[in-house]
Amino acid sequence: MAEGAMANDAFVVFDRVQKSYDGVTLVVKDLNLSLPKGEFLTMLGPSGSGKTTCLMMLAGFETATHGEIRLNGRNINTVPPHKRGIGMVFQNYALFPHMTVAENLAFPLEVRKLDKSVRDEKVKRALDMVQMGAFAGRRPSQLSGGQQQRIALARALVFEPELVLMDEPLGALDKQLREHMQFEITHLAHNLGITTVYVTHDQTEALTMSDRVAVFNDGRIQQLAPPSELYEAPVNSFVAQFIGENNRLMGTVTEITGETCVVRLDSGDIIDAKPVNVSKVGDRTQVSIRPERVETNKARLRPGVHTLKAEVTEFIYMGDIFRTRLKVAGHDDFVIKTRNAPDQIRHQPGQMIEIGWLPEDCRALDAP
Amino acid sequence: MTEQTADGLMLAADGKPLKQSLNRALRRQKLRAFLLIAPLLIFVLVTFIAPIGDMLFRSVENDIVADTLPRTVAALADWSPDSGAPPGEPVYRALASDLLIAVAAKTHTQLGTRLNYEDSGFSSLLRGTGRDVDDMGEDVGKALVAVDPVWDEPVTWTNLLGDPAWISAQADWAKAGDKTPEPPFVPSAAAQKNLPLTAAAYGDFARVMQTVKEDSPTEKRPWNTVAVSLTEDLKANPSAAAAFGADWQPRLSAVVAAEQGGAIPAADFMAAFTESDKAWGTPQPWEVIKTFSPRFTSGYFLNAVDLKMTPEGIAPRSEAERVYLMLFLRTMVLSLVITGTCILLGYPVAWLLANLPARTANLLMILVLLPFWTSLLVRTSAWKVLLQQQGVINDLLVWAGLVADNNRLVLINNQTGTIIAMTHILLPFMILPLYSVMKTIPPSYLRAAKSLGATDWTAFWRVYFPQSVPGIGAGSILVFILAIGYYITPELVGGAKGVFISNRIAYHIGTSLNWGLAAALGSLLLVVVLVLYWVYDRIVGIDNVKLG
Amino acid sequence: MTLKSLLSATALAMLPLGASAAFAEDLPPCDNCSDSMVLMSWGGAYQASQVAAYAEPYSKLTGVKITWDEGSNEAIAKMRAASEAGNMTYSLVDVEGPDSQRACDEGLAEEIDFDKDLAAAPDGTAASKDFGSAIINECFVPQIVFSTTFGYRTDVKEWNGKVPDNLCAIFDLENFPGMRALEKRPKKNLEWALLCDGVPKEELYTVLSSEGGVDRALAKLDTIKDQVVWWSAGAETPQLLADGEVVMGSTYNGRLFSAIVEQKQPIGMLWDWQVFDFDGWVVPKGLDEAQKNRVLHFLNFATDTQRLADQAKYISYGPARASSQPLVSTHATLGIEMAPYMPTNPANQKNYLVNNIEWWADNQDEVEVAFQNWLSK
């Protein structure tokens, strides 16, 4: 659906938005973004990248220094937060400690002056939705982290907003619970058909939950794409580095032929790559190759491709996969991952091997 | 390694019961923990619990009447103020005996001070009578000497009444002339049996001479009460002389004869007291002594709540004498107002402190704490300069045209002054707990409330404010309890109508020396605080109080 | 000797007399005496005059270390507390007359054998005679006579050039409008009120003792009640006068002296019906032998004729010894004649009062309650 999104039927639009706190530096630089209704969009980036500021501007807690934010076609720059009708789940849930679970949920309905009977009905439905019906009378402090998370979600949804914002909502949960909640949240969002903007610095979360991911760095969106595209076709070295594990080699382009190019690494070795951010011979480039796309079995490589000599420095058994660290072209942090299969070779440290890859798996990106 | 005995007792590795081993291990820990807190415990006991206990005791303690006037109190037991008449001669006799001793020890003025608290005028009554009591019964003493000049000799009395063993011991002591104290006087068995009143009266005299005056009874003529006792003993038992040696029989017989012949007048202490002060001829002072003779009294507490103890029971004081309940009430009301203004002024400041960036907040915090670093008197004096009619604030208001020059505001030397100055002084005690509580309220709560559709006000009132209530509670308790105990500031800026009950307590401690009443007022204040604390606990819950 | 003769003896002081300030080099030796003392006094200018006039000279002559405690306004309470604790930490305590009476009544002070313990006058007059009526009880060693009197601003426009010349101007709001400062205590105020209500001096305490007497005095005070600032510390009135907060007010004459002479404030003094009071020493009970010997040795020196006269060079309070009066001369630093500022100056004492200590000892508590009650209404 994301691919089909058109600017004119966009539900949320950031139009050339800039934000500065101190009048000297911009924390958000020229942000353009549009979301269609029903999309689950994740803003991913390191801390300080501007993603949370964007979320806060959308929620109305920060004002844009320049540009326009539109919700459902309406400019909301001057609309106060409580009139935006946006549901929000906060990092630490922000459940009101002096109210019971039911009172927390009833709060948004109360301020909307709904009748008590309607309120009770909606609260009950929202609690059932997150399987917390039995906890209505408890105080937030009597709930576990996961339960609080569900209540926070229910509270953000109980007044049936069309847009829900989530600010690193799973950060405080342990790994297993987090994975479970990721699943639940995505399901709930899709089932209810609500538009979700989700902020996280956890790339796994971003990849598993989102329709699209906006990778933020330095106040800009570096890449806005569905998870698979983000992983497999990062458009620059930042995205390549930030999403998933990644081997980096620096070099200079010596030859470009259509979909492939030849890069001479700084160590003098020659490799094949796919030109992405390089346009001419002589460009400096950082090539990026995923560990699981490196091939050690020469038989499986396309004939004629360049290979590199590598020395095994470490072999780590990780159960489902093997992780082997190599010294390649002067770098000793080159990692390859191989599936734990019966025929898979277990390399010994000190062993010299030869590695290679398909040219399209190795992306010649910008040199940072 | 543990094992189990047949009866299910767990054993430690050394075979002793596990429980016993555990207890031993824990005892050492407990002892060490106790030793750690012991200094504080002793400190609290000595500086806090003990003074409070002492204060509570003082507010009911009333030994002085029974200790100073034991005979009078005993003699008054049969007298009832309902009779409307003063008590009989024996009571006056008893009072004379008591007063002679008290005057020698100079305790009659202390008793006068004590009873003056209950009945104005007692102080001078006892001081005046104390001067005269030496001469009471003088006519009897003189008549006795007229019968036989030997009665004027101090040794006559020691020889008549003293135990032979004591007489010789005394003589040895006098011969030795060293600095050891004189052997204490011991009456002879014969004297105690045949001249009981005389022996007792002389015993008192000798004891006072030896202990208080550090004189020998062999060198001082006894009090007139002794002479009076002798005549009465002889009247009751004219043949008493038979019990004494041959030397004594003619002397004592002469006294008996003189008595029968009317040469020795009957002692009239009642007349002597009435002559000293007319008041003794009325039931009034006797009522007071009788009413306040028990060793414990509720008098101070009654006084502290504008009541008084009368022979008919507890009665309210007259309109002009009532002041303490009004002061208690004023203290409570003003302290509540001060607590209220502290909340109103302190809340926004604490909110700013908790929400401003660290640097600005620190600066503001220094401003908040500034009053802590100035002495109380300096601060209070500063308020005077600011608030008085020719002061800075009035000058500014006049300059701004808000107030006419001849109609300047009275901001000091009244309750307004007390409220303003004490609010300023106590404000940090409100701000600091509020701040520490607000600091723990994440801003995300307000954001959450707003995102859920609450206006700024609703978000504050329904979400932020309830969470800051523990801070308000802690601040209010602190401010209120400090406020009701203040007295320097109210004394200096409160004028006539802005003073607190504590000012009265300070007055009774420092000026009137009525420590019993001060203790009773203090105890009541303590009770009021505890009651308010209890009420607060019932309404708000004391676990909801956070000091930081 | 009566107070009257003491006061008239001051007349002699007005004659220019060369006061000799020779130190008593022939200080008698002190056997079995401790080498330090703790003296309790009032602090401020008064204590400074004591230090200058006799404490420092005594230390110089004997090497005794003197420590001061400025606690005299709660002297009796402190003495009682020390006495109850069984550890009398004060060697000698400076108190006002009524407090000495209480200390004596409470058994907190030693009785003084005046002629034995204190120095005779230079002409051989025994101390008890020289101090005369200043000896108000057997525990009190008098030092000075001070008075409570009124000061007024000399620049009040509303008074049209008039200045108060008698006590009852205090109650005359018509001719002398403006705020007044009075002590927040009944003592003196009641007497003044009755005097201005037409009670002759001799009958003051008879009236006060009679039914409704106190009420009569309070009723007179009622006429100016809303024009009164009530003070509790003697320093307040001079400050209030200087700030223009009040146009007249009662305080101790020494305080007014420093406001007028040292600080040059536009303030005048109204001596009419000044109330005399004595200030002096009491020796606390419970001192050890050596300490007591030292204190008596010091007292003998500090209250002799010359030392008391010296004190008047530093503060405008009159010495309590008749024989000291002629030796009073000029201020130690300002060089002005002290006589016009002395309460004992004949020109200043046409009318004066002495509080009846006994009446106040009896009635203080009751009247205090009535007064506070009245204040609160």
**Whether residue B374 sits in one domain with residue B504:** yes
Taking phi over 0 as left and psi of -120 to 50 as alpha, with beta for the rest, A143 belongs to beta
Mean pLDDT, chain C, as a whole number? 88
Residue A7 pLDDT class (50, 70, 90 cuts): very low
Domain boundaries, chain A: 2-237, 246-366
B186 occurs within a structural domain:
yes
Mean pLDDT on B76-95: 91
**Whether residue B499 sits in one domain with residue B440:** yes
Task: Give B112-142 pLDDT, tens digit per residue.
Answer: 989 998 888 898 899 899 989 999 999 999 9
Contacts B323 to C, Cβ<8 Å:
369, 372-373, 376
The Cα of B448 is separated from the nearest Cα of chain A by a number of Å equal to 6
C-alpha neighbours within 13 Å on the C-beta side of residue A153: 28
Residue B4 pLDDT class (50, 70, 90 cuts): low
**Whether residue B175 sits in one domain with residue B282:** no
At B245 the pLDDT is: 82
| Contact call for residues C146 and C14 (beta carbons, < 8 A) | no
- Among residues A113, A107, A191, the alpha carbon closest in space to that of A151 is found at A107
Of the listed ranges A83-87, B519-523, C20-24, the least confidently predicted one is: C20-24
d(CA C177, CA C165): 15
Distances (CA, A) of C40 to C28, C49, C73: 24, 14, 10
Of the listed ranges A47-51, A256-260, B1-5, B248-252, the least confidently predicted one is: B1-5
Query: Which superfamily is assigned to A2-237 in CATH?
Result: P-loop containing nucleotide triphosphate hydrolases (3.40.50.300)
Contacts C358 to B, Cβ<8 Å:
124, 127
Which range marks the domain in which residue B17 is found?
3-58
- Among residues B95, B145, B384, the alpha carbon closest in space to that of B258 is found at B145
d(CA B497, CA B141): 59
Q: Is the pLDDT of residue B216 over 80?
A: yes
**Whether residue B528 sits in one domain with residue B431:** yes
d(CA B464, CA A44): 31
Mean pLDDT on B308-315: 85
- Among residues B430, B432, B435, B425, the alpha carbon closest in space to that of B374 is found at B425
Mean pLDDT on B179-191: 88
At C16 the pLDDT is: 37
At B468 the pLDDT is: 92
Q: Is the pLDDT of residue B437 over 50?
A: yes
Taking phi over 0 as left and psi of -120 to 50 as alpha, with beta for the rest, A262 belongs to beta
Mean pLDDT, chain A, as a whole number? 89
- Order the strands of the A321-328 sheet from edge to edge: A331-339, A321-328, A308-317, A352-355
Q: Is the pLDDT of residue A61 over 80?
A: yes
At C43 the pLDDT is: 87
d(CA B131, CA B121): 16
**Whether residue B86 sits in one domain with residue B53:** no
The 3-state DSSP composition of chain C as helix, strand, coil percent (nearest 5) reads: 45, 20, 35
Contacts of A73 (CB under 8 A, 6+ apart): none
A88 forms beta bridges with A165
C73, C107, C365 member nearest B512 (Cβ): C365
Query: Does B127 contact C243 at a Cβ distance shorter than 8 Å?
Result: no
A310 forms beta bridges with A328, A353
Query: Does B320 contact C373 at a Cβ distance shorter than 8 Å?
Result: yes
At C12 the pLDDT is: 41
Mean pLDDT on A321-326: 91
Q: Is the pLDDT of residue B343 over 60?
A: yes
C107, C369, C376 member nearest B496 (Cβ): C376
Query: Does B390 contact C245 at a Cβ distance shorter than 8 Å?
Result: yes
Task: Give A88-144 pLDDT, tens digit per residue.
Answer: 999 888 999 999 999 999 999 999 999 999 999 999 999 998 889 899 999 999 999
- Among residues A102, A100, A98, A162, the alpha carbon closest in space to that of A126 is found at A102
What value, to the nearest 5°, has the Cα angle with vertex B351 and ends B348 and B357? 130
**Whether residue B508 sits in one domain with residue B420:** yes
The DSSP line for B371-387 is GGGS-HHHHHHHHHHHH
At A23 the pLDDT is: 86
d(CA C218, CA B404): 32
Residue with tokens 């209530």: B469
Pairing mode, if any, of strands A163-167 and B10-11?
unpaired
Q: Is the pLDDT of residue C93 over 80?
A: yes
Residue A299 pLDDT class (50, 70, 90 cuts): confident
Distances (CA, A) of A304 to A298, A348, A359, A363, C84: 11, 27, 11, 18, 110
* DSSP classification of residue C109: B
Contacts of C109 (CB under 8 A, 6+ apart): C79, C93, C100, C103, C139, C140, C282, C283, C284, C285
| Contact call for residues B469 and B381 (beta carbons, < 8 A) | no
How many domains, in total, are found in chain B? 4
Collapsing DSSP to helix, strand or coil, A366 comes out as strand
Restricting to B residues 161-180, those with a Cβ less than 8 Å away from any Cβ of C are none
**Whether residue B252 sits in one domain with residue B348:** no
Q: What is the CATH classification number for the domain harbouring B402?
A: 1.10.3720.10
d(CA A159, CA A126): 9
Task: Give C53-89 pLDDT, tens digit per residue.
Answer: 999 999 999 999 999 999 898 899 999 999 988 999 9
Mean pLDDT on B347-364: 91
Q: Taking the CA atoms of A93, A96, A98 and A101 in sequence, report the sign of the dihedral they define.
A: negative
| Contact call for residues C52 and C314 (beta carbons, < 8 A) | yes
Structure tokens at B73: 């109190």
At A8 the pLDDT is: 55
Restricting to A residues 43-102, those with a Cβ less than 8 Å away from any Cβ of B are 59-61, 80-88, 90-92, 94, 96-98
Write out the H or E segment, with its range, that includes residue A11. strand A10-19
What is the number of other CB atoms lying within 10 angstroms of the CB of residue B226?
28
Which of residues B58, B75, B105 is at a domain's end?
Answer: B58
| Contact call for residues B111 and B69 (beta carbons, < 8 A) | yes
Could you tell me what percent of chain A has a pLDDT over 70? 98
Q: Is the pLDDT of residue B527 over 80?
A: yes
Domains, chain C, with CATH or none: 3-146+278-342 (3.40.190.10), 148-276+352-376 (3.40.190.10)
A59, A94, A165 member nearest B445 (Cβ): A94
Structure tokens at B43: 């400190």
Mean pLDDT on B375-403: 88
Determine the distance from the C-alpha atom of residue B376 to the mean position of all C-alpha atoms in its chain, rounded to a whole number: 27
| Contact call for residues A224 and A31 (beta carbons, < 8 A) | no
C-alpha neighbours within 13 Å on the C-beta side of residue B196: 3
At B19 the pLDDT is: 84
Helices and strands in chain B: count of H runs, count of E runs: 28, 4
Chains that touch B (3 or more CB pairs under 8 A): A, C
Return the exposure string of B349-360: e unless at least 16 CB atoms fall within 10 Å of the residue's CB, then b. Answer: bbbbbbeeeeee
Distances (CA, A) of B259 to B92, B192, B271: 22, 21, 20
| Contact call for residues B244 and B189 (beta carbons, < 8 A) | no
Contacts A60 to B, Cβ<8 Å:
450-451
Mean pLDDT on B168-189: 87
Structure tokens at C214: 């106190």
d(CA C94, CA C71): 9
At C9 the pLDDT is: 46
d(CA B540, CA C2): 69
Contacts of C81 (CB under 8 A, 6+ apart): none
Q: Is the pLDDT of residue C279 over 90?
A: yes
Distances (CA, A) of C119 to B2, B12, C131, C297, C308: 90, 86, 11, 10, 12
d(CA B60, CA B63): 10
Q: Is the pLDDT of residue C36 over 50?
A: yes
Task: Tell me whether chains A and C touch (3+ CB pairs under 8 A).
Answer: no
CATH number of A246-366: 2.40.50.140
Total count of residues recorded for chain A: 368
Contacts A100 to B, Cβ<8 Å:
none
Task: Give C136-154 pLDDT, tens digit per residue.
Answer: 999 999 999 999 999 999 9
Residue B7 pLDDT class (50, 70, 90 cuts): low
Mean pLDDT on A3-22: 76
The DSSP line for B79-113 is --GGG-S---HHHHHHHHHHHHHHHHHT-HHHHHH
| Contact call for residues B147 and B255 (beta carbons, < 8 A) | yes
**Whether residue B244 sits in one domain with residue B202:** yes
Structure tokens at B504: 């009265």
Total count of residues recorded for chain C: 377
Query: Does B390 contact C376 at a Cβ distance shorter than 8 Å?
Result: no
B308 occurs within a structural domain:
no
- Among residues A84, A70, A86, the alpha carbon closest in space to that of A157 is found at A86
Side chain identity at residue A161, one-letter code: P
**Whether residue B484 sits in one domain with residue B412:** yes
d(CA C289, CA C293): 6
d(CA C303, CA B70): 42
Mean pLDDT on C11-35: 59
* A120, A121, A122, A124: CA torsion to nearest 10: 80
Query: Does C245 contact B509 at a Cβ distance shorter than 8 Å?
Result: no
- Order the strands of the A28-36 sheet from edge to edge: A28-36, A10-19, A66-71, A74-75
Mean pLDDT on C334-344: 85
d(CA A367, CA C328): 102
Residues in chain B whose Cβ is within 8 Å of chain A: 442, 444-445, 447-456, 458-459, 462-463, 466-467
